[in-house]
Amino acid sequence: MRKQQRGNEEKMENKIDQSLIPRRTLPGGEQIPCMGIGTFGSDKYGAEAVSEAVYGAVKYGYRLIDCAAVYQNEDSIGRVLGRLFAEKVVERKELFITSKVWNDMHGEGKVLASCKKSLSDLGLDYVDLYFVHWPFPNYHAPGCGGDSRNPDSRPFSVEEFMSTWRQCEELVDKGLVRYIGMSNMTVPKLRAVLPLCRIKPVALEMELHPSFQQPELFAFARAHDILPIGYCPIGSPSRPERDRTAEDVADTELPAVAAAARAHQVHPAIICLKWAVQRGQVPIPFSVKEPQYISNLKCATEDPLTEDEMAAIEGEDRNCRLIKGQVFLWEGAKGWEDLWDINDEITAL
């Protein structure tokens, strides 16, 4: 018993001081932590491993958890949240939990059903921020290969997207979600939909790492008071095979990242996260390994990068998108670039 108590005390000592964690401000003034933990196991880590990491991460001091229905682990995460509340590690109101509606649940009435399912799996009365995961209803089966196509897939439609968004707005009205956000958007799509929103998105979840900085979309979001949340902040070294191509760059090997890692005597992954926090996006790194997720959050509280290091990493942008989304393409699409409006216009059929 005494041994167990000592073990618990040691763990409690290994807790981050919340007041050291920088905050980001949402429109309306609420402050959220500058970093969260991701929960997509990338076909590599099962629900138990991911949810145990969430448990350890919250005990250590993470307060922002990035979930999604399609990650197929919200029920396991719900169980560890229940444990954390029962053990009085945190209260519900101290956490900022996101979830996302998957592409096969955009239709009329389905967003509410999807949100209720996530709430029930997570064991919560509300989620803090609910995202439209991808801006079209194109669906692929979890774990499918990169070349698989769904014949029902189609290009982005403002009308279809807004019918999904209206349902998200109703979730806010019903008190089931506190804020709503968009993900995997482009500047042309945002230009088209933002004027139509009754409730504006407070956040935009987007791929962001040193070799893929999306400067235009990042600046557009900031100019519209939308907080960028950066996914794959370390360049997703464990991403599924379907999201890998020969041209991909490893962020941790970029010269400016490697040089800063040597100077600060940390793993290059830590440099990617310091850069993200100092740039002003909210990175949501994933890890099931305790030393990794601890050092990830801790790095935001100490030993910042210099202005020169920040500038050198800014110079490493290679426009290297990792999550190309090719499984969401429709018949007749030319290639994954069609999903991302690279000619500054919404791609049509």
Ligand X SMILES: NC(=O)c1ccc[n+]([C@@H]2O[C@H](COP(=O)([O-])OP(=O)(O)OC[C@H]3O[C@@H](n4cnc5c(N)ncnc54)[C@H](OP(=O)(O)O)[C@@H]3O)[C@@H](O)[C@H]2O)c1
Tokens of 191: 């230009």
Comparing CB distances to ligand X, the nearer of 6 and 263 is 263
Question: CB–CB of 16/61 below 8 Å?
Answer: yes
Choice from 296, 320, 326, 340 touching ligand X (CB under 6 A): 296
Mark the segment that binds ligand X (CB under 6 A) among 39-47, 103-111, 140-148, 309-317.
39-47
71 noted as active-site residue? yes
Distance CA 46, CA 77 (A): 11
Question: Shortest gap between Cβ of 2 and ligand X (angstroms)?
Answer: 33
Residue closest to ligand X, measured at CB: 38
Q: Which two tokens stand for residue 296?
A: 């990830």
User: Which residues, 66 to 95, sit near ligand X by CB under 6 A?
Assistant: 66
Q: Is 235 in the site for ligand X (CB under 6 A)?
A: yes
Check binding of 239 to ligand X (CB under 6 A). yes
**Quick one: which of 84, 217, 227, 234 contacts ligand X (CB under 6 A)?**
234
Residue 245-274 contact track with ligand X, rule CB under 6 A, x = bound? ----------------------x-xx----
Q: Among 45, 55, 71, 179, which one carries the catalytic annotation?
A: 71
**Pairing relation of β-strands 127-132 and 37-38?**
unpaired
What is the phi/psi pair of residue 97, to 5°?
Answer: -110, 130
Interaction of residue 33 with ligand X, rule CB under 6 A: no
Residues 151, 97 contacting (CB under 8 angstroms): no
Binding range to ligand X, per CB under 6 A, among 111-119, 150-158, 185-193, 229-237: 229-237
Q: How far out from the chain centre does Cα 216 lie?
A: 19
285 binds ligand X (CB under 6 A): yes
Q: Applying CB under 6 A, which part among 122-130, 150-158, 284-292, 339-347 lies near ligand X?
A: 284-292
Which tokens in the block code for residue 73?
Answer: 């682990």
Q: Which of 233, 264, 326, 338 binds ligand X (CB under 6 A)?
A: 233
Tell me the closest approach of the beta carbon of residue 3 to ligand X, in angstroms. 30
Catalytically annotated residues: 71
Give the footprint of ligand X on this chain (CB under 6 A): 38-40, 42, 66, 133, 183-184, 205, 231-239, 267, 269-270, 284-287, 289, 292, 295-296, 323
